[in-house]
Amino acid sequence: MSIIPEKNTGLSFLIKNKSVFRQRQYALIIIFLNVVLLFLLSHYATRFFYPWLFGLLFGFVLQRSRFCFAAAFRDIFLIKNTILTRAVIVALIVSSLGFLLLEILNPGVELLFTFGKIQPVGLFTASGAFLFGIGMVIAGGCASGMLMRMGEGYMMQWVVMPGFLLGSAMGAWHLDWWYELFISRAPVVFIPHLLGWPLAVLLQISLLLALFILAGVYQNGWKGPASGWTKRINPLYLLQSHFPKSPGTGQGLYPLLFKKPWSYVTGGVLLALLNIFYFVAWGSPWGITDGITFFAAWMIEFIGFNPDKWFYFQGATRIEGCCLPATRINYWAFPLVYHFMAIITGALIASLLAGEFRLRKMRSPKFVFAALIGGLLMGYGARLSLGCNIGAFFSAIPSFSLHGWIFGVSVLAGSYLGGKILLRFLVGW
């Protein structure tokens, strides 16, 4: 055996471990700064405390599990893979049951109808979600996935963000037109009001289980009794493939928590549980794009425009659950502006602790254009459909809102078209 390769391998090993050690040092510094910040917020600016705290936690879980809604929709068509899709469905089941428990524990309040992600539903919902689906596929990530990958160092997602900001601003600017023509006349369909609680819960959980089984059969095929078809439609059998094998002895706690990737189901369940706790602490389920839109408004105000009079901000109480005065708006006073920043920070901490952070360049200049257009479509689509993959889907379906289901079906259709565009113009298959 040659001595030179051995020396190179050893040197490479030392350099790699030195880099990982340095990343962990940076992570500890950032964690310390965030602990100090959270302490200050808890004493002097309490309304910002929970958005920042849960933003860190959401970002951390997203990065450790690589949980991406864009891939959950896109991979169905591109590679006939539904592992992430099934993890999303599991997360929806867990959060639906958790939100239901909160409703039971608050009798007479109508907690979900009053404080859940319940929005009007109509053609604007489907149209916005369709645009969002196209955008997230060609941009390489949904709203939460964009923030997660920004924290990991993906340069493409840092280019997606300006497009998202511009699309959000345009959507907020046009919202008065959409509201007058469509949204104001659209029904708010809370499924338990339509069917009653027992039937609504039974229907939702049954439908989610059926979709879980269908997704497994779609990927694994249906080969008849001789090939064990009963296992192929057994949710527990399908679920077990999502979990890694036992780590065995010698596997430390640090690698398990911070180094070894978590399974998609682990990430989905943790995100669902965090959403439930966030609902309890913050008073509303998880949402992302509100804060991004307010940040976009601050940016365009900074360069000379005046979005204060736009309907989105003046009518925020009716549409997005905001609580801002209908006068001069201080956009930095809106707590969710900091929430999306905290998600980026949480993902950064997770990637540094794992020694995985690095700046990842785009493969070719055409991806710059794709990132900007994809972000623009997502930002505008989120405003049109009154939410993104989180507020209008991940939190809306567990809130038993019909608009969450319409958003999901429409974003699936948009993802199909987005996949065609991706293969034709970007990947070149």
Q: What is the mean pLDDT of each run of 10 residues along the chain (429 residues)?
A: 41 62 94 98 95 98 95 94 96 98 94 95 97 96 96 96 97 92 94 97 98 92 53 56 47 79 95 98 95 94 85 63 58 93 97 93 88 97 96 97 98 96 77
DSSP state of 200: H
Would you state the pLDDT for residue 320? 45
Q: % helix / strand / coil in the chain, to the nearest 5?
A: 75, 0, 25
Would you state the pLDDT for residue 327? 57
Tell me the residue length of the chain. Answer: 429
| Residue 188, strand partner residues | 120
Would you state the pLDDT for residue 323? 47
Q: 């289980």: which residue's tokens?
A: 209
Would you state the pLDDT for residue 255? 79
Would you state the pLDDT for residue 21? 87
Q: Which residues lie closer than 8 Å to 312 by C-beta, 6 or more apart?
A: 171, 172, 173, 175, 176, 293, 319, 320, 383
* For helices 123-139 and 366-384, angle between their N-to-C axes, nearest 10 degrees: 160
What's the angle, vertex CA 137, arms to CA 132 and CA 142, rounded to 5?
Answer: 60
Fill in the amino acid letter for 278.
Y
Instruction: Return the C-alpha torsion angle 241, 86, 415, 363, nearest 10.
Output: -40
DSSP state of 245: P
* Contact assessment for residue 281 and residue 151, using Cβ atoms and an 8 Å cutoff: no
Backbone φ/ψ region at 417: left (φ over 0), alpha (ψ -120 to 50), beta: alpha
Q: 């602990």: which residue's tokens?
A: 35
Tally of CB atoms within 10 A around 152: 22
